[in-house]
């Protein structure tokens, strides 16, 4: 049986990027969801686990330009968006675009920047444009943001505003690799220069129009009204749970359904089933939930709370909860 366009895209992404970064199969699946669904990605993990190399590899795969922003406490919004500089020859101010004006942008250690700088990304992530000095500038049509976040117990980090976290389609957690995978990484990248000199040069870009064809497939996936109601019940349950102080927004429910559509297409189907929503939920929901102080003191995390909550929500066509 021949593969769908979405399945071909996933296979190529895993094959090409998997030759550069190792042991990240789950991360690559999440990236596939985000790329096809046209959303942004929040990567969480300790420094030194390959986040920059992963982002560069994605840019090569998408045949796009790559921009990198290093999060620091003194980073200013203009360092991200760009500035207007006076041109002595033309006697006018010219716009000098910042690194945000690339196809794939990595914001490394995003939570080391202050709230003002973090908020400079809000319009870009939601509207694909930047307003500066009363002028609006469009970003790349294929603008794709990957933000790397340090764990919250690291020193010198600022929690991301709820409004910004909600704009990330998915959150992916990068953990330390298994011993065998780490041995493979060491043997590949222990030469001078490490992994950032030329490894991405070996990545072949996606065939022309394949990404758009995959997106067209996803848009054509049939969704029964009962499945929308199931997503609404999940969202409502997060808003009324005693251990959750901030539940799922409507934007979050949309993210869930967008990724569920991609899950269906990756499974070779042109229709949605409840399992697609269940598969997409951990990646799209947990980072949007804020637990109560009591729940955090008890050592619970958002993913655990949601897993318990999900079991109590009735599936489409069922008389009892899942």
pLDDT in tens, 253-263: 999 999 999 99
pLDDT band at 169 (very low <50, low <70, confident <90, very high): very high
Do residues 164 and 117 touch, judged by C-beta distance below 8 A?
no
* Half-sphere exposure in the Cβ direction for 151 (13 Å, CA): 10
Fold match between domain 5-199 and domain 220-311: no
Domain boundaries, the chain: 5-199, 220-311
The whole-number average pLDDT for the span 289-304 is 92
Structural tokens at position 175: 């953990």
pLDDT digits (tens, 9 = 90+) for 2-54: 788 999 999 999 999 998 899 999 999 999 999 999 999 999 888 888 888 89
Q: Does the pLDDT of residue 130 top 60, yes or no?
A: yes
Q: How confident is the model at residue 198 (pLDDT cuts 50, 70, 90)?
A: low
How big, in percent rounded to 5, are the helix, strand and coil portions of the chain? 45, 15, 35
3-state SS, residue 34: helix
CATH code of the domain made up of 5-199? 3.40.50.300
Asked if pLDDT for residue 88 goes beyond 60, the answer is yes
Predicted pLDDT of residue 200: 61
Q: Above pLDDT 70, what percent of the chain?
A: 93
pLDDT at 92: 87
Give me the sign of the Cα torsion angle 7, 8, 9, 10: positive
pTM of the entire structure?
A: 0.90
Parallel, antiparallel, or unpaired for β 66-70 and 104-108? Answer: parallel
Classify domain 220-311 at the CATH class level: mainly alpha
């Amino acid at each position: 049986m021949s593969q769908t366009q979405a399945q071909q895209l996933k296979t190529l992404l895993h094959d090409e990027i998997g030759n550069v970064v190792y042991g990240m199969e789950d991360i690559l699946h999440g990236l596939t969801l985000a790329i096809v669904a046209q959303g942004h990605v929040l990567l969480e993990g300790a420094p030194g686990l390959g986040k920059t190399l992963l982002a560069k590899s994605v840019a090569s795969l998408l045949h796009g330009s790559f921009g990198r922003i290093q999060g620091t406490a003194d980073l200013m919004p203009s360092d991200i968006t760009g500035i207007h500089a006076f041109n002595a020859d033309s006697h006018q101010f010219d716009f000098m675009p910042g690194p945000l004006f690339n196809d794939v942008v990595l914001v490394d250690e995003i939570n080391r920047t202050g709230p003002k700088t973090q908020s400079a990304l809000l319009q870009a992530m939601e509207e694909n444009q930047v307003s500066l000095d009363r002028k609006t500038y469009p970003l790349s049509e294929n603008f794709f943001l990957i933000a790397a976040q340090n764990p919250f117990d690291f020193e010198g980090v600022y929690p991301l505003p709820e409004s910004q976290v909600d704009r990330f389609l998915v959150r992916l957690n990068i953990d330390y690799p298994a011993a065998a995978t780490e041995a493979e990484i060491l043997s590949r990248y222990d030469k001078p220069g490490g992994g950032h000199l030329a490894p991405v040069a070996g990545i072949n870009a996606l065939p022309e129009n394949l990404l758009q064809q995959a997106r067209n497939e996803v848009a054509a996936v049939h969704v029964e009204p009962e499945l929308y109601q199931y997503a609404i019940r999940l969202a409502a349950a997060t808003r009324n749970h005693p251990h959750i102080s901030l539940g799922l927004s409507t934007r979050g429910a949309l993210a869930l359904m967008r990724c569920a559509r991609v899950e269906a297409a990756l499974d070779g189907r042109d229709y949605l089933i409840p399992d697609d929503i269940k598969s997409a939920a951990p990646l799209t929901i947990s980072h949007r939930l804020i637990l109560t102080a009591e729940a955090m003191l008890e050592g619970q995390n958002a993913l655990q709370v949601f897993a318990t909550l999900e079991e109590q929500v009735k599936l489409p066509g069922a008389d009892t909860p899942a």
